[in-house]
Chain A
Amino acid sequence: MEFSSRRKKFTNNSQTELYSHPLQFYGQPPLENISLTEFETFAVERLKLLKTMENLGVSYVKLSDQYIKKLEIESKALNFLYRPEADDRKPLSGPTEQEKRRKDHISHFILRLAYCQTEDLRRWFIQQEVDLFRYRFNELHPKQKLEFLHRNNLQYDTISVEEKKTLKDQLLNSSYAVSGITVEDQDFYKVPFQDALDLVRLRKVYLKAGYVYIPHQDIVTIVLNDFRTRLSKALALTARSLPAVHSDERLQPLLNHLSHAYVGQDYSIQKNMGKISLEQIDSLSGKSFPLCMRQVHQSLRENHHLRHGGRMQYGLFLKGIGLSLEQALQFWRSEFIKGKVDSDKFDKAYAYSVRHMFGKEGKRTDYTPYSCMKVILSNAPSQGDHHGCPFRHSDPELLKQKLQVYKVSPSGIIQILELVKGMHYQLACQKYFELTHNLEEASFSLNHPNQYFIESQKVLGGGRDIKRETDAPQKPQENSTKAPSAAPVAAANTQDVAEMTEELDSFFQDA
């Protein structure tokens, strides 16, 4: 009937209005109905995108070519915008530009609900969204950039080429960062000085009649700061309206699931590869391993064996602290061989799985070390297993004995057991960290075993320690290789490792 078609036209118009620009500040929440499935799918996909942002941000310089390329691939895979089309051409397959923008809009607001609750969650969310925004803004055409600024009441106009020429000397002399080339090539924006206080305060910019003249490269900083501030305020407001949202039974489980999904670093891309020598592992296990890994390492040493769950948990952890594939193979082989497994059997049965962990077999997924959440919730140990989270999976009496053996003070043990009783396993582990490192309070919030390791190394003297120990001559390693048949292989491996370590050392020194 005419009625409905007219209404449809109306929604289309307002939608086209809202989504007529690829980028937005997310000022207005979406005002439509969607299905629960869409709700869930959109949210999960955006979360994946943001996690990618985080990982890439750790491994690559932001906005470098590799960074952009990888991000494009991921965005495409998740059906998010990756390259703003100037015109709304209908693609041959998959969702239209409009649909992608709608998804972007809705998924952002859903994640706000999930991530507004705690300071940590908010910080993480804001960081990834800002990085995402930076990437997208960077990809816009200059005209689209101006359009974006105007639509969002950032009344920043560019100055004409003539004006640029007239002001050239002043512009050059106002900022160390502005060169003749900058003035030639880049657009300069006129911004009210109140919006660029940091630049004014340090006198790093040309100021005339209440306006600062900013090259394009710096305009992004201002826009990003604006975005960050708006988002931060919005999250604070969202947090206040949460109780209403939580009362909806359909949404609560989903939102909880989203915000409990591990959001920290996944330690899969190691900058420290090759910085640990096998010799150090025993001492490190006492000093810097979280209790779960110390325990599993000890049982490996005692039994010369670990079952699958333990191998996965510990093997990936070792990868996370910097063991290379060669080292890992040597490590596991040398230990297993002391037990009931001979060299051939190791190669046939176990080597494959070690290589698999490093992404060198099968579908070649580079598996990521388990987070505390994962160790606690999944991968529960059963009879004959020694992995899992001791605070969660060990009988309190046994835990107490273990802590006594590891020389934790009686009062400390009581505190830990209290936390365990309250089911605060990660806090118990954090308390263990504080007691073993003689700290009043840990400066971090524990949620990953590799995080524990890194923080511990920091406290004990930082990355320098690791470096120094590796720099010590590689000879001790060769001497200690026990199994004769493994010796030539081990020697060769050690040399590779030494070379690799040297290269990496000089790389980090130059950096």
Chain B
Amino acid sequence: MAASDYDSACLPDILPLYYRRLFPFSQYYRWLNYGGVQKNYFQNREFSFTLKDDIYVRYQSFTTQNELEKEMQKMNPYKIDIGAVYSHRPNQHNTVKSGTFQALEKELVFDIDMTDYDDVRSCCSAAEICPKCWTLMTIAIRVLDRALRDDFGFQHLLWVYSGRRGVHCWVCDEAARKLSVAARSAVAEYLSLVKGGDETMKKVVLSDPIHPFIRESLVVVERYFPLYALQDQDILGRKESVDKLQQDFQNEKKPENRWKLLEDQAKRKQGTSKKGQHFEKEIMLQYCYPRLDVNVSKGVNHLLKSPFSVHPKTGRISVPIDLKELETFDPFAVPTISMICEELDRPRTVGEEEKSEETNDKENEKDAAESRKIRDYKRTSLAKYVKCFDQFLDVMARSWKGELLKKSDLQKDF
């Protein structure tokens, strides 16, 4: 089934199908409930929906998983965003005394968007992406994942494909959810190296001493640089990028050798002048280092696209990315809503039929409907992404257990 068969006009017809049979509600609830460690955490969470005809509704909230399902199946949102956990139920915010309704907690999030790299990619621009520039996302994920874990000590990171041209990171640790605005902005600035707008030519400036964070990030960037910049983007082949090395470059066609020439030239320069000490490092970083939008990460009440939400323009589902398979992740292979709905309609194979009959005998009617639903997504390409999500939740759940035990001990609740 070619993903390009997706047409946004079909959304009104297939969204209901998606929300009734494929959207992984129980995993979704398991995530946002965070083990029930904090009271009303799920109930006070804001969701926002973009409905048909671009109608946008905020301050949606739900008391149970069931209510969430029913409402989503009723409204069939084109887009779903997740906001903060507030002091009161968002859908009752108008009844609360003004000033007391406040955003309290939210995951620390990052949004990496390919359009922010337009000045350093020659293959595409704006909303387009291709395998050549997708490497930038791979680099971004590696660099940020390492930094968030090693430097900041965060452990529960969910990386999600946005559905079109970027990736999101949801840091779900309790400490992360409790961060203040100032703390979030400090984290984002710590992680920022590429600064400057269209007017700035040199966007990365390094000075001694080189901070360990930059060193570690360079290790990651250096791994991908030859492939990305030298080959795929051919930065040294394009007329604009080559300067005085014209002569030497005429003799050397292979990009790696050209780069070596550049490096040698730079080292020679280093001996004579103070400036340009970290020339090659700065180039590598300017081309490859992740560019994040600080404003997305700063706000506690900022709304971000939900995992498993559909991208209306491409039809692709915002799926979790398994970092163990990062090198082979292909955004163009991510299932579209049309694709998985079609897979649902496929006749069941013999093996599947037998399995479903067995389990049907064991369960009563209600459970059967539930488990049929659960089994439904398993028959589609969505399965492996839900499994990845499950694994992420399993790891987090261990920390919730610890928290619940602590709490019950405190309450002498044996």
A203 nearest CB across to chain B (Å): 5
Rounded to whole Å, the gap between the CB of A169 and the closest CB of chain B is 8
Interface residues of B in 198-231 (CB under 8 A from A): 209-213, 215
A200 to B213, CA, bound (A): 11
Contact A206 B212 (CB under 8 A): yes
Closest to B153 in A: A210
Give Cα A202–Cα B183 distance, bound, in whole angstroms: 12
Chain B, residues 141-180, CB within 8 Å of chain A (1/0): the string is: 0000000001111100000000000000000000100011
Contacts of A210 in B (CB 8 A): 151-154, 175
Main DSSP-derived SS at the B contact region: helix
Cβ of B152 and Cβ of A203 under 8 Å apart? no
In the complex, what distance in Å separates the CA atom of A201 from the CA atom of B152?
12
Residues of B within 8 A of A202 (CB): 189
Q: Is B182 part of the contact surface with A, judged by Cβ < 8 Å?
A: yes
* A208 and chain B: residue at smallest CB distance: B151
| Beta-carbon nearest neighbor of B215 in chain A | A173
A139-179 interface mask toward B, CB cutoff 8 Å, 1 = contact, 0 = none? Answer: 00000000000000000000000000000001011111000
CB distance from A228 to the nearest CB of B (A): 15
Least Cβ distance of B209 to chain A in Å? Answer: 4
Q: Does A511 contact B (CB under 8 A)?
A: no
Interface presence of B284 (CB below 8 A): no
Q: Decide: A200 and B210 in contact? CB cutoff 8 A.
A: no
Within the complex, what minimum Cβ distance (angstroms) separates B294 from chain A?
11
CB-defined interface of A194-206 with B at 8 Å, one 1/0 digit per residue? 1001101111001
| Cα(A193)–Cα(B213), bound, Å | 15
Given that A207-B151, A208-B150 are known contacts, is A174 also in contact with B183, CB under 8 Å in the complex?
no
- Interface membership of A349, Cβ < 8 A: no
Whether B151 pairs with A201 at a CB distance below 8 angstroms is no
Does B213 lie within 8 Å of A203, measured CB to CB? yes
CB-CB nearest in chain A for B151? A207
Known contacts: A194-B179, A200-B190. The answer to whether A173 contacts B153 by CB under 8 A is no
A-B pair number, CB within 8 angstroms: 53
* Cβ distance A374 to chain B, nearest Cβ, rounded Å: 44
Q: Which residues of B contact A170 (CB under 8 A)?
A: 212
Q: From residue A212, how far is it (CB to closest CB) to chain B in Å?
A: 10
* CB of A211 within 8 Å of the partner chain: yes
| B175 in contact with A173 (CB, 8 Å) | no
Whether B190 lies near A201 (C-beta < 8 A) is yes
Are A207 and B183 interface neighbours, CB within 8 A?
Answer: no
What residues of chain B lie closer than 8 Å to A206, measured between beta carbons?
Answer: 212
Bound-complex Cα distance A176 to B207 (A): 10
Hey, which chain B residues are within 8 Å of A172, CB to CB? 209
Does A181 sit within 8 A of B, measured CB to CB?
no
B186 lies within 8 A of chain A by Cβ:
yes
- Cβ of A175: which chain B residues have Cβ within 8 Å of it? 209
| B187 proximal to A (CB < 8 A) | yes
Check: A244 CB closer than 8 A to any chain B CB. no
Contact B182 A173, beta carbon cutoff 8 Å? no
Contact of A174 among B152, B179, B180, B212 (CB under 8 A): B212
Task: Select one of A173, A176, A197, A203 contacting B183, CB under 8 A.
Answer: A197
Are the CB atoms of A200 and B150 closer together than 8 Å?
A: no
CB atoms of B182 and A211 under 8 A apart: no
Q: B185: CB under 8 A from chain A?
A: yes
What is the CA–CA distance of A174 and B213 in the complex, to the nearest angstrom? 8
* CB-based contact A173/B210 at 8 Å: yes
User: Which of A176, A201, A207, A211 is B213 in contact with, Cβ under 8 Å?
Assistant: A207
With a cutoff of 8 Å between Cβ atoms, the chain A residues found around residue B187 in the complex are 200
Q: Is the CB of A197 within 8 A of B153?
A: no
Alpha-carbon distance A197/B153, docked complex (angstroms): 15
Q: Of the candidates B150, B183, B185, B213, which one forms a contact with A194 in the assembled complex, judged by CB atoms under 8 Å apart? A: B183
Q: In the complex the two chains form, is B185's CB within 8 Å of A173's CB?
A: no
Q: Would you call A203 and B154 a contact (CB within 8 A)? A: no
Interface hits, A241-290 → B, CB 8 Å: none
Write the nearest CB–CB distance from A166 to chain B, whole angstroms: 13
Establish whether residues B215 and A207, one from each chain, have CB atoms under 8 Å apart when the complex forms: no
Measured in the bound complex, the distance between the Cα atoms of B175 and A210 in whole Å is: 10
Roughly how many angstroms separate A208 CA and B151 CA in the complex, as a whole number? 4
Distance of A206 Cα from B152 Cα, bound (Å): 11
- Interface 1/0 per residue, A220-241 and B, CB below 8 Å: 0000000000000000000000
Q: Is A31 an interface residue (CB 8 A)?
A: no
B215:A197 contact, CB within 8 angstroms = no
**How far is B150's CA from A170's CA once the two chains are assembled, in angstroms?**
14
**Which residues of A lie under 8 Å from residue B211 when comparing CB positions?**
173-174, 203
A398, CB-defined interface residue at 8 Å: no
Query: Is A86 located at the chain interface by the 8 A CB criterion?
Result: no
Residue of B nearest to A204 (CB): B211
A3-B385 Cα distance, complex, nearest whole Å: 73
* Shortest Cβ distance from B192 into A: residue: A203
Is there an interface contact between B185 and A201, defined as CB atoms closer than 8 Å?
Answer: yes
A340 → chain B closest CB, angstroms: 70
Residue of B nearest to A201 (CB): B186
A193 contacts B152, C-beta separation under 8 Å = yes
Q: Are A211 and B153 in contact (CB under 8 A)?
A: yes
**Nearest chain A CB to B25 CB, angstrom units:** 33
Q: How far is the CA of A331 from the CA of B186 in the complex (A)?
A: 59
> Closest CB-CB distance, B98 to chain A, in whole Å?
21
**In the complex where A174-B209, A176-B209 touch, is A201 in contact with B150 (Cβ < 8 A)?**
no
Q: Is A1 an interface residue (CB 8 A)?
A: no
A92 proximal to B (CB < 8 A): no
Does A405 count as interface, using CB distance less than 8 angstroms?
Answer: no
Chain B proximity of A168: nearest CB distance (Å): 12
Interface string of B290-324 (1 = CB under 8 A from A): 00000000000000000000000000000000000
Instruction: Let me know if A209 is at the binding interface, CB within 8 A.
Output: yes
- Closest chain-A Cβ to B207's Cβ sits at a distance in Å of 8
User: A207 touching B154 by the CB < 8 A rule?
Assistant: no
Complex: how many Å from CA A313 to CA B153? 64
Tell me the nearest residue of chain B to A207, going by C-beta.
B151
Bound Cα distance A193, B187 (Å): 9
Cα A209 to Cα B185 with chains together (Å): 18
Contact check, B186 vs A200: say whether CB atoms are below 8 A apart. yes
B215 neighbours in A (Cβ, 8 Å) = 173
A201 touching B212, Cβ below 8 Å: no
Cα separation A175 to B207 with both chains bound (whole Å): 11
A194 to B187, CA, bound (A): 9
CB distance from B148 to the nearest CB of A (A): 10
Q: Cβ of B150: which chain A residues have Cβ within 8 Å of it?
A: 208-209
When chains A and B are docked, how far (Å) is the Cα of A208 from the Cα of B185? 18
CB of B324, distance to nearest CB on chain A (Å): 22
A253 to B212, CA, bound (A): 60
Report the Cα distance A382→B214, complex, angstroms.
Answer: 74
Contact (Cβ within 8 A) A203 B190: yes
The answer to whether B209 touches A173 (Cβ under 8 A) is yes
A-side contacts of B182, CB under 8 Å: 197
Q: List 12 A-B contacts (CB under 8 A).
A: A170-B212, A173-B211, A193-B183, A193-B186, A194-B183, A200-B186, A201-B190, A202-B189, A203-B189, A209-B152, A210-B152, A210-B153
Q: Report A's interface with B, CB cutoff 8 A.
A: 170, 172-176, 193-194, 197-198, 200-203, 206-211
10 nearest A-B residue pairs (beta carbon): A210-B153, A209-B153, A201-B186, A197-B186, A173-B209, A170-B212, A207-B151, A201-B189, A200-B186, A200-B190
Residues of B whose CB lies within 8 Å of any CB of A are 150-154, 175, 179-180, 182-183, 185-187, 189-190, 209-213, 215
Known contacts A173-B211, A206-B212; 8 further A-B pairs (Cβ under 8 A) = A172-B209, A173-B210, A174-B211, A174-B212, A198-B186, A200-B186, A209-B150, A210-B154
